[in-house]
């Protein structure tokens, strides 16, 4: 009998199957198979926080199928992801399949390569219940907070709201930054730049710094003009020139957090998109037969460790020596110090195969996959290289008792900078941060030398408020404060936006009125839940459970005692208070009663509604009229009017975005709830009924292909149907999603071939 290997995702299963051969069958659980019920709390608080798990709806047939395979298998290997969540999935699988926990064969691998997978299969272990209990504790804590706080918010704020343990803290962070911005008072300051010319006529710029006593701030125009008038008819002389050599160290290889920050800054990707692409790179992509076929391209992408294996270091050393020369490799391998509290179970994020340079795989991967892989590959190679050597210079120039300064550098030896440079954080100027001119190319000047004044340029500035958080800066703040885990950062941001506590404005995260009101209520009634230090301590306690140093029930019991007391006190207090729930006004005037319309949320997104409902039931698409009378811009994006009318009432159809992507809804919603999805044909007949295949959008805006006769014909596919036929059996060939490969999906056939020269 064959051995059974159970993983989480189908793409990962396909990759691993190619490594293990015919004696192994690899199946996918498609994530969790058991969870707490949605309809009730599912945790017996009075009896030791016993969790009542049930099989997830829709997973029954899958569980039955895997159970049958497990019964017929010689051995069952549970190969879910190598973290708390993956350990819990393995535990749930063992329970659902009826396999005793002490007889399960748990295997993990940090990278999905042939060597790593085969080595893991040779050394299975039992399920780590400390890891499982750590995940269970987090799940139960989040369930208690969500299911106990949500009814409180429904009662006193608005129905449909929900609360979360870490998400509430993230909302508070964004609200507090917005309050800082509102309270910010700009401070006027001035700079004075002087253009100087050295012997030979080379011009360069210096900036006013101060006087002989030190730095001086120019707070108004009079201060600036005093300096300008003093130096206008005087000679400048070189007061001092300080030159030095400086080594610049490379940045360490990526952790989950730093990968999300850097990809957000350099690639403009949102955190959820980054993690989805990283998952695809980890699970495996077909990179062509010349590169080994289906390969896991990076190591496990949920890690806060900067550790690199000795084997990877040796491979990097050989690659750097061959590609750039021995002088580009340091005298000994680089080791990066772990931060306090780091979980060191996994390596840093790095390429699984260093020889697979980004250019070699570009034609086989999507544009997004290529960009992120290139970033990871370059960051890792640079992290193992020799430091860059810079020649720095700072020069002070004196005139009429005032000091002007400039500084700059030149690169003497590129070192790691030949491959990669880390992006810098966004900075905003304060009144104390009027710095000298930097990175100016200076002529060769010496102390005491006279230089000629060409002109002066006084300029007025105002200090800027702190920047709003974006994905990168919020993730950095969460990590610094120890709030959440790197693997949860993307979910935190997605959740607070989905709950309408926060919205995106460009790349910035901005609190909504609902988010601000809810945060105010949470701070007043549940200070522990939204306290930074309390949330960080809870993360530490979850880590202690994982290490076996703390019982799960101790953590849950301690939390419940404090939380339940806060809940009772909050309910008692709110019984005698009324909250004024803010409404979001628009500039749209109701054409029936003349009132200013307000923003409402419906099944299909936001719309404008009359505030006098139910007396006036007028609604409109949420658009801002333009001066020319044409349809204007919506508050989030331009409203698109369809070229067809509502089939129920004849009104305009307006493009909307919902849970399953873009669709058209009647402009008279909610009075008329008719919707229609526009589809695009791909020129391929349905393999089931011969009708047309159309493109559709599913959850998270993912594209899939379906028969246009749905639901009469239920054919659908994530993979792209083609007009090519399988040479072995004559069935239709499909292009695998995200891969440059054609496959036959007929049971027992298994034909596949790469698409040569394909570039996404």
Q: Is the pLDDT at 643 greater than 80, yes or no?
A: no
**Domain residues of the chain, as ranges?**
3-127, 136-184+468-574, 188-249+388-462, 256-383, 585-676
What is the average pLDDT across 605-610? 82
Mean pLDDT of the chain: 87
Confidence of residue 634 (pLDDT cuts 50, 70, 90): very low
Q: Among 3.30.70.120, 1.10.290.10, 3.30.1360.10, 1.10.10.10, name the CATH number for the domain at 256-383.
A: 1.10.290.10
Residue whose structure tokens are 């350990």:
87
Strand partners, 652: 645
Task: Please state, as a whole number, how many other Cβ atoms lie within 10 Å of the Cβ of residue 70.
Answer: 19
Q: Is the pLDDT at 431 greater than 50, yes or no?
A: no
Distance from C-alpha of 8 to C-alpha of 22, rounded to nearest angstrom = 20
Question: Per residue in 340-396, pLDDT tens?
Answer: 656 656 889 999 999 999 999 999 999 999 999 999 999 999 999 999 999 999 999
Distance from C-alpha of 675 to C-alpha of 665, rounded to nearest angstrom = 4
Question: Per residue in 210-269, pLDDT tens?
Answer: 998 999 999 999 999 999 999 998 889 999 999 999 999 999 999 999 999 999 999 999
What is the per-residue pLDDT for 629?
A: 37
Question: Per residue in 729-749, pLDDT tens?
Answer: 888 998 888 777 888 888 777
Tell me whether residue 613 is one of the annotated catalytic residues: no
Lowest-pLDDT range of 149-153, 167-171, 463-467: 149-153
DSSP string, 514-565: HHHHHHHHHHHH-TTTT-HHHHHHHHHHHHHHHTTSS-HHHHHHHHHHHHHH
What is the per-residue pLDDT for 637?
A: 41
What is the per-residue pLDDT for 604?
A: 63
Q: Say if residues 737 and 744 touch (Cβ distance below 8 Å).
A: no
Element (H, E) at 725: strand 720-725
What is the per-residue pLDDT for 624?
A: 43
Distance from C-alpha of 441 to C-alpha of 213, rounded to nearest angstrom = 27
Q: Say if residues 307 and 345 touch (Cβ distance below 8 Å).
A: no
From the list 300, 324, 402, 705, the catalytic residue is 300
Q: Say if residues 472 and 440 touch (Cβ distance below 8 Å).
A: no
The second-level CATH assignment, the architecture, of 3-127 is 3-Layer(aba) Sandwich (3.40)
Question: Per residue in 97-122, pLDDT tens?
Answer: 998 777 789 999 989 988 999 999 99
Question: Per residue in 28-83, pLDDT tens?
Answer: 998 899 999 988 999 999 999 999 999 998 899 999 999 999 988 989 999 999 99
Distance from C-alpha of 256 to C-alpha of 392, rounded to nearest angstrom = 34
Lowest-pLDDT range of 99-113, 569-583, 616-630: 616-630
Pick the more confident residue, 756 or 481. Answer: 481
Strand partners, 194: 206, 456
Distance from C-alpha of 346 to C-alpha of 370, rounded to nearest angstrom = 23
Confidence of residue 635 (pLDDT cuts 50, 70, 90): very low
What is the per-residue pLDDT for 581?
A: 67
Share of the chain above pLDDT 90, in %: 56
Q: Is the pLDDT at 755 greater than 90, yes or no?
A: no
What is the average pLDDT across 617-640? 52
What is the average pLDDT across 191-207? 89
Confidence of residue 714 (pLDDT cuts 50, 70, 90): confident
What is the per-residue pLDDT for 181?
A: 96
Confidence of residue 536 (pLDDT cuts 50, 70, 90): very high
CATH level 3 topology of 136-184+468-574: Topoisomerase I; domain 2 (1.10.460)
SS3 260: helix
What is the per-residue pLDDT for 631?
A: 38
What is the per-residue pLDDT for 440?
A: 61
The answer to whether the 3-127 and 256-383 domains have the same CATH topology is no
The second-level CATH assignment, the architecture, of 188-249+388-462 is Distorted Sandwich (2.70)
SS3 119: helix
Q: Could you tell me the maximum CA-CA distance found in the chain, to the nearest angstrom? A: 96
* b/e code 26-46 from CB counts within 10 Å (16+ = b): bbbbeebbbbbeeeebbbeee
Pick the more confident residue, 521 or 340. Answer: 521
CA torsion angle 663 668 669 673 (round to 10): -70
Confidence of residue 270 (pLDDT cuts 50, 70, 90): very high
Pick the more confident residue, 133 or 434. Answer: 133
What is the per-residue pLDDT for 630?
A: 38
What is the per-residue pLDDT for 627?
A: 35
What is the per-residue pLDDT for 633?
A: 38
What is the per-residue pLDDT for 753?
A: 82
Token pair in block for residue 360: 């070699």
Q: Say if residues 296 and 111 touch (Cβ distance below 8 Å).
A: yes
What is the per-residue pLDDT for 388?
A: 95
What is the per-residue pLDDT for 234?
A: 86
Question: Per residue in 644-675, pLDDT tens?
Answer: 777 777 777 887 766 555 678 887 776 777 88
Share of the chain above pLDDT 70, in %: 90
Lowest-pLDDT range of 427-436, 548-557, 581-590, 661-670: 427-436
What is the per-residue pLDDT for 378?
A: 97
């Amino acid at each position: 009998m064959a051995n059974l290997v159970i993983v989480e995702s189908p793409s990962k299963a396909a990759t691993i199957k190619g490594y293990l051969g015919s004696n192994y069958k690899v199946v996918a659980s498609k994530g969790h198979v058991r969870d707490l019920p949605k309809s009730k709390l599912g945790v017996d608080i009075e009896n030791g926080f016993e969790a009542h798990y049930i099989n997830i709806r829709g997973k029954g047939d899958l569980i039955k199928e895997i159970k049958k395979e497990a019964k017929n298998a010689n051995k069952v290997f549970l190969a879910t992801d190598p973290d708390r969540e993956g350990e819990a999935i393995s535990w749930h699988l063992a329970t659902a399949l009826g396999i005793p926990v002490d007889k399960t064969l748990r295997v993990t691998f940090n990278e999905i390569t042939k060597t790593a997978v085969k080595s893991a299969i040779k050394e299975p272990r039992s399920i780590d219940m400390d890891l499982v209990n750590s995940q269970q504790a987090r799940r139960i804590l989040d369930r208690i907070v969500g299911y106990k706080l949500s009814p409180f918010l429904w009662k006193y704020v608005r129905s449909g709201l929900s609360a979360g343990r870490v998400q509430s803290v993230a909302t508070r962070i964004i609200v507090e930054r917005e309050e800082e911005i509102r309270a910010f008072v700009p401070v006027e300051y001035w700079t004075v730049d002087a253009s100087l010319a050295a012997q030979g006529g080379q011009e360069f710029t210096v900036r006013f710094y101060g006087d002989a006593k030190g730095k001086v701030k120019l707070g108004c125009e009079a201060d600036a003009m005093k300096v300008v008038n003093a130096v206008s008819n005087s000679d400048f002389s070189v007061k001092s020139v300080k030159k030095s050599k400086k080594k610049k160290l490379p940045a360490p290889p990526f952790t989950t957090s730093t990968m999300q920050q850097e990809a957000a800054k350099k690639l403009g990707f949102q955190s959820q998109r980054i993690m989805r692409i990283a998952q695809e790179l980890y699970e495996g992509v077909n990179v062509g037969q010349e590169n080994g076929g289906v390969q896991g391209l990076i190591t496990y992408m949920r890690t806060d460790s900067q550790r690199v294996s000795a084997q990877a270091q040796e491979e990097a050393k050989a690659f750097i020596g061959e590609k750039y020369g021995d002088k580009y490799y340091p005298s000994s391998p680089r080791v990066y110090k772990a931060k306090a509290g780091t979980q060191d179970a996994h390596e840093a994020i790095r390429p699984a195969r260093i020889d697979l340079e980004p250019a070699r795989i570009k034609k086989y991967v999507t544009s997004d996959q290529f960009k992120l892989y290139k970033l990871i590959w370059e960051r890792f190679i640079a992290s193992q290289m020799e430091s860059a050597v810079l020649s720095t210079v700072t020069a002070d120039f004196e005139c009429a008792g005032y000091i002007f300064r400039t500084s700059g550098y030149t690169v003497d030896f590129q070192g790691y900078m030949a491959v990669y440079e880390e992006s810098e954080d966004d900075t905003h100027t304060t009144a104390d941060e009027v710095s000298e001119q930097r990175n100016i190319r200076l002529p060769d000047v010496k102390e005491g030398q006279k230089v000629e004044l060409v002109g002066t340029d006084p300029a007025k500035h105002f200090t800027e408020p702190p920047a709003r958080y974006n994905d990168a800066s919020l993730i950095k703040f969460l990590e610094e404060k120890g709030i959440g885990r790197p693997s949860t950062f993307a979910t935190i941001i997605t959740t607070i936006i989905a709950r309408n506590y926060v919205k995106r404005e460009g790349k910035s995260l901005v609190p909504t009125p609902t988010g601000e009101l809810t945060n105010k209520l949470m701070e007043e009634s549940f200070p522990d839940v939204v306290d930074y230090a309390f949330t960080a301590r809870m993360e530490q306690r979850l880590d202690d459970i994982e290490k076996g140093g703390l019982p799960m029930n101790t953590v849950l019991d301690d939390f419940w005692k404090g939380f339940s007391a806060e809940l009772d006190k909050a309910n008692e207090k709110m019984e005698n208070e009324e909250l004024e729930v803010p409404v979001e006004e628009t500039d749209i005037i109701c054409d029936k009663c003349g009132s200013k319309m307000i923003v409402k949320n419906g099944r299909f997104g936001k719309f404008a509604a009359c505030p006098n409902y139910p007396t006036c039931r007028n609604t409109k698409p949420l658009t801002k009229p333009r001066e020319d009378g044409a349809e204007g811009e919506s508050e989030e994006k331009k409203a698109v009017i369809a070229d067809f009318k509502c089939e129920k009432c004849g009104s305009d159809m307006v493009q909307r975005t919902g849970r399953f992507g873009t669709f058209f809804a009647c402009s008279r919603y909610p009075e008329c709830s008719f919707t229609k999805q526009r589809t695009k044909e791909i020129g391929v007949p349905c393999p089931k009924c011969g009708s047309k295949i159309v493109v559709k959008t599913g959850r998270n805006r993912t594209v899939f292909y379906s028969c246009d006769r749905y639901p009469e014909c239920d054919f659908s596919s994530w993979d792209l149907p083609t007009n090519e036929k399988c040479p072995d059996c004559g069935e239709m060939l499909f292009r695998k999603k995200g891969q440059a490969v054609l496959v036959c999906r007929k049971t027992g056939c298994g034909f596949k071939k790469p698409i040569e020269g394909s570039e996404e």
